[in-house]
Chain A
Amino acid sequence: MTMQQVRAIHVHGLKKSYKRLEVLRGVDFDVARGSIFALLGSNGAGKTTVVKILSTLLKADAGTANVNEFDVAANAANVRKSISLAGQFAAVDEILSGRENLVLVAKLRQLKAPSRIADDLLRQFSLIDAAGRKVSTYSGGMRRRLDIAMSLVGNSPIIFLDEPTTGLDPEARIEVWRAVKELAEQGTTVLLTTQNLAEAEQLADRIAILHKGRIIVNGTLAELKQLLPSAKVEYVEKQPTLEDVFFAIVGADDKGKPAPTNEEKP
């Protein structure tokens, strides 16, 4: 029974095919409440399909999926009350301003004081200076920040982030990572899909590798590392990575902070 209570997401035997193409061939995993769970896989592994089924956008062919104890097929309305979606395919309205996007979501969630909620999030995601501008003028990083901010409106207990950092520059990626960590600290359950190994390593409490429609490994980072032969000591010259070089040049102080680039100016 304790397992039941701490489980935010439960997936068992999930199958989905598009015409002849079997995308999911029996997927099983559980996500503990308040944890960050990374679904790792290459393009076409079926990560987005899993997220779409869990967020009630697609129907599974077989298997069960529960989100916040609600069955996604039988109780979709309650699932939608429990979740928020951001990332690859959950986008922002290009023609509205950043503030209007946030107010729109707040109004649809029937929250009181939508503009105050919008202002708080704009400040939290360093978008306050660009708040009144059309989103079509935003940079990729700003857009993704707004996207994540929109998914925070209403404090859903469970958040799906589908490849939240794909296509972002290193600085914007670190900002997104920081936001995700803050979410988990506040007790939000995060299901993250990514093809970036470093991202899973940085953020996730548990990592599952989805490959050809099945979960082939599922465990903590330490558990996953044990799957390989034990570490042996080798002496290797430590070369700076390109990322180290990038941050050394653009200013290491900016690391993790919203960069005061010209994109931020109104």
Chain B
Amino acid sequence: MTANFFGDTAVLLGRSLRHITRSLDTIITTTLMPIAFLLLFVYVFGGAIDTGSGDSYVTYLLPGILLITIASGIAYTAFRLFTDMQGGIFERLQSMPIARSSVLWAHVLTSLVANLTSVVVVVLVALLIGFRSGAGVLAWLAVAGILILVTLALTWLAIIAGLSAKTVDGASAFSYPLILLPFISSAFVPTHTMPGPVRFFAEHQPVTSIVNAMRDLLTQQKVNADIGIALAWCLGILIVAYALAMATYRRRTA
């Protein structure tokens, strides 16, 4: 890693942030589906769902909706990287005297900025329809930390997809299962109402512990083992995805 890594990353970050500000529709379409789910579940299904908690359903629902927001947002990260690879700008950058890894890191940081912007938009909509939290600054920081970690982990998955995809559709298709995963978790309904095998899956997949941890923080519950499991999942996915992305990257330039 050379000394100009940070400078190069900053210049390239400026470039891809311009891509985002010039196609704000990507932020809008990223938030549209999660907001639609939010409204659908709060105003259509929510009345019939008994979460067993004292909080409003929108408060119960929000952590899962935020994960869906991130899962749909990273599809654009894969798309932007794929476009760079197809168009040839990636190869131009790789042939220049710059820190090569800054090309990937600029995409990762852009993903972080874009996804956190989408998350803020969705939280604002949730506030409008009755989401309230008495959580303190530390709890909010912890929630923000979890969301950043999730975004980073899923972004490196998106980098693998962007580097290895053969078509535009392939570059973003990997995010569909990630968007659906919260449905088989504690995000929308408590897991104890699910039949045995489904419940087992729901309780042992990463979304449930991540959602539970954020929910406990937002509703000022005592934080239990969920946060440890959640962090372990996030870090585990992050490390594996990063290693695979780097291996894919090296194969592309061999």
Contacts of B96 in A (CB 8 A): 80, 84, 105, 108-109
CB within 8 Å for A55 and B95 given contacts A89-B88, A92-B89, A94-B87: yes
The 8 A CB mask of A67-83 against B (1 = contact, 0 = none) is 00000000001001101
Contact A108 B93 (CB under 8 A): yes
Q: CB within 8 A of B15: which of A84, A88, A96?
A: A96
A93 within 8 A of B: yes
Q: CB within 8 A of A91: which of B18, B92, B253?
A: B92
Complex Cα distance, B3 from A140, in Å, reads 37
B22 within 8 A of A: yes
CB within 8 Å for A91 and B87 given contacts A57-B95, A108-B96: yes
Contacts of A110 in B (CB 8 A): 4, 7
CB within 8 Å for A85 and B18 given contacts A91-B89, A94-B87: no
Contact B94 A58 (CB under 8 A): no
Contacts of A59 in B (CB 8 A): 253-254
Chain A nearest CB from B101 CB (Å) reads 13
B53 within 8 A of A: no
Contact A107 B254 (CB under 8 A): no
A117 within 8 A of B: no
Contact A57 B91 (CB under 8 A): yes
The 8 A CB mask of B173-213 against A (1 = contact, 0 = none) is 00000000000000000000000000000000000000000
A56 within 8 A of B: yes
Contact A80 B254 (CB under 8 A): no
Hey, which bits of chain A sit against chain B, CB under 8 A?
A: 52, 55-59, 77, 80-81, 83-85, 88-96, 100, 104-105, 107-110, 134, 150
Given contacts A77-B2, A88-B88, A150-B92, 12 further A-B contacts (CB under 8 A): A52-B91, A57-B253, A81-B97, A91-B88, A93-B87, A95-B18, A95-B23, A100-B18, A105-B96, A108-B98, A110-B4, A110-B7
Hey, which bits of chain B sit against chain A, CB under 8 A?
A: 2, 4, 7-8, 11-12, 15, 18-19, 22-23, 87-89, 91-98, 253-254
20 residue pairs of the A-B complex, CB under 8 angstroms, read: A52-B91, A56-B95, A57-B94, A57-B253, A59-B253, A77-B2, A80-B95, A80-B97, A83-B95, A84-B95, A85-B91, A90-B91, A91-B87, A92-B89, A93-B15, A95-B18, A104-B11, A108-B11, A109-B96, A110-B4
In the complex, the 8 A-B pairs of residues with the closest C-beta atoms, listed nearest first = A91-B88, A90-B92, A55-B95, A81-B97, A85-B95, A80-B97, A89-B88, A91-B87
